[in-house]
Chain A
Amino acid sequence: MIAISKVSKNFEEVQALEEVNLDIATGEFISIVGPSGCGKSTLLRIIADLVDSPGTVKKPNKGAFVFQDSALLPWRTVQGNVELLMELEHTENKRAKAAVALRQVGLNGFEHSYPHQLSGGMKMRLSLARSLVLDPKYILLDEPLSAVDELTREVLQEELYDMWTRDKFTAILVTHNIAEAVYLSNRVCIMSPRPGKITDIVDIPFKKRTPDIRTKPQFSKLVNEIAGKLRTWK
């Protein structure tokens, strides 16, 4: 499990995050939604230990961070990129693991391509593949799907859901997209800006996600409920 307690952040005089406390169960998928500048990205970086905070974060030691712009090395091929994090973590059997990971995201056959030759969706699949290959206990996702077009986005949401059910990691997703949060999560945290804090947590009761739940009345109801709560801050 991931336990966030008394986490806060000030940037000079500005209070970016007011005390945040949140427990995330092992294997849970949680989303954080909120308007721009509410500190959700900062919160994710505090969890990742990229930003200091007076509070404490307890988390398993094997994790991965997936960035908005896929963060690939442009001078490395697909093969080189999928092996990057294994190199940094000194993982054994890089070749074999890379081959499996690429096949899982449908990038086999593209081993010798460079990132600039891939579509936005393929880049994100590669970014997810190189993280999953580490066999992480938790994954932090910082608006990973915001750079792809709407159709690809829904397909990637479904793929991400499949990865989560298959590999059983804990996931924390920061997103602007409410439907995405509802589709993927067990719980959705709503953050308010200035200072950033979690004002509400909405449980998502769906047992299994298939593309058709997006058309169900209960799905729209949840999306509208969360949108309504966010609108209060405008």
Chain B
Amino acid sequence: MEVKKIVPPVLILVLFLGSWHVGALIYNMAFLLPTPYAVLQTFINDFTIIMIGLKQTFQAAFTGYIIAAIIGIAVATIMSLSKILERSLYPYAILLQTVPVVAVAPLIVLWFGFEIKSIIIISVIIALFPIINNTLLGLKSTSKTLVELFDYHNTSKLTSFWKLRFPAAIPNIIAGLKISAGLSVIGAIVGEFIIGSGSEQGGLGVQIIYAQANLETSLVMALILTATMLGFAFFITVSTLGWYLLHKWHESEQ
């Protein structure tokens, strides 16, 4: 990458950390606003326990993300088969997006127990809609000329799907997956908040609740940073996959 591209964001980061550090020193209440250096120290000192949390959150978020991807693409495919199916199902897909998941989460925990299962389900609910919506958009916007070409050769619906509509929708599917990458981690953290309080050995969300109760602000911040990096890693992975699939032919990756 060129130096010109790296310098501006790094400059912003240095500015941000610098003013945070100075601000924290002036404010001088470490339990409310620790310096970035203190957060880094906590991160190093509590590295083992943070990694245990990361592993649990990763498992829940990753499983939720994969399930959301499979269900999302499948539901969008079903909706794309006919106008009637789309009209019957789409409103509920929207409701899935508009329901305040934080409010529903306790109910899910009530039904599925204080287990990783509940966390995964909450993660799926949050990550699902962008995948459905973008996949559906992709499947519905196949070039009319190409559809005519396949129709002219009396191609079966199944062949048309695999050779035309699905590959044409891949750029949109990737776009949906990119949005959901961060959301699946958010979902897992929300789930862990609700399950919460139990022990300091839980996922990142559980540990955040625990550390907050103990006024360990620098640990809360170290945990937030770790969760942020997890979502970022998901995003980079999907972006790389997208680049690999699209860079040879699609303008979005050229």
Encoded as 1 (CB less than 8 Å from any B CB) or 0, chain A from 64 to 87 comes to: 010111010111000000001101
Encoded as 1 (CB less than 8 Å from any A CB) or 0, chain B from 233 to 254 comes to: 0000000000000001111000
Complex contact A67–B249 (CB within 8 A) = no
Indicate whether A150 reaches chain B with its CB closer than 8 angstroms: no
Q: In residues 191-234 of chain A, which contact B (Cβ within 8 Å)?
A: none
Taking a contact as CB atoms closer than 8 A, the residue among B148, B150, B249 that contacts A75 in the complex is B249
Indicate whether B155 reaches chain A with its CB closer than 8 angstroms: yes
Taking a contact as CB atoms closer than 8 A, the residue among B145, B248, B250 that contacts A67 in the complex is B145
Of the listed residues B149, B152, B248, B251, the one surrounded by the most CB atoms of chain A closer than 10 A to its CB is: B149
- Measured between beta carbons, the chain B residues less than 8 angstroms from A74 are 249-250
Complex contact B148–A50 (CB within 8 A) = yes
- Measured between beta carbons, the chain A residues less than 8 angstroms from B152 are 48-50, 65
- Docked pose: A73 CA to B248 CA in angstroms: 13
Chain B residue at minimal CB-CB distance from A64:
B152
- Measured between beta carbons, the chain B residues less than 8 angstroms from A149 are none
Complex contact A88–B148 (CB within 8 A) = no
**Chain B's nearest CB lies how many Å from the CB of A15?**
23
Interface of chain A, helix or strand or loop or mixed? loop
Complex contact B163–A87 (CB within 8 A) = yes
Encoded as 1 (CB less than 8 Å from any A CB) or 0, chain B from 131 to 161 comes to: 0000000000001011011111101000100
Complex contact B248–A114 (CB within 8 A) = yes
A67-B148 contact given A74-B249, A88-B159, A89-B153, CB 8 Å threshold: yes
Indicate whether B164 reaches chain A with its CB closer than 8 angstroms: yes
Category for how many chain A residues contact B: 20 to 34
Complex contact A73–B167 (CB within 8 A) = yes
Complex contact B149–A71 (CB within 8 A) = yes
Complex contact A88–B250 (CB within 8 A) = no
Complex contact A71–B249 (CB within 8 A) = no
- Docked pose: A137 CA to B168 CA in angstroms: 31
Indicate whether A116 reaches chain B with its CB closer than 8 angstroms: yes
- Measured between beta carbons, the chain B residues less than 8 angstroms from A69 are 145
- Measured between beta carbons, the chain B residues less than 8 angstroms from A48 are 152
Chain B residue at minimal CB-CB distance from A140:
B152
9 A-B contacts (beta carbon < 8 Å): A45-B148, A50-B151, A71-B143, A71-B145, A87-B163, A88-B153, A88-B159, A88-B163, A114-B249
State the B residues within 8 Å of A (CB): 143, 145-146, 148-153, 155, 159, 163-164, 167-168, 170, 248-251
Excluding A67-B145, A71-B149, A88-B155, 9 further A-B contacts by CB distance (< 8 Å) are A49-B152, A65-B148, A71-B145, A75-B170, A75-B248, A84-B163, A88-B163, A114-B248, A115-B249
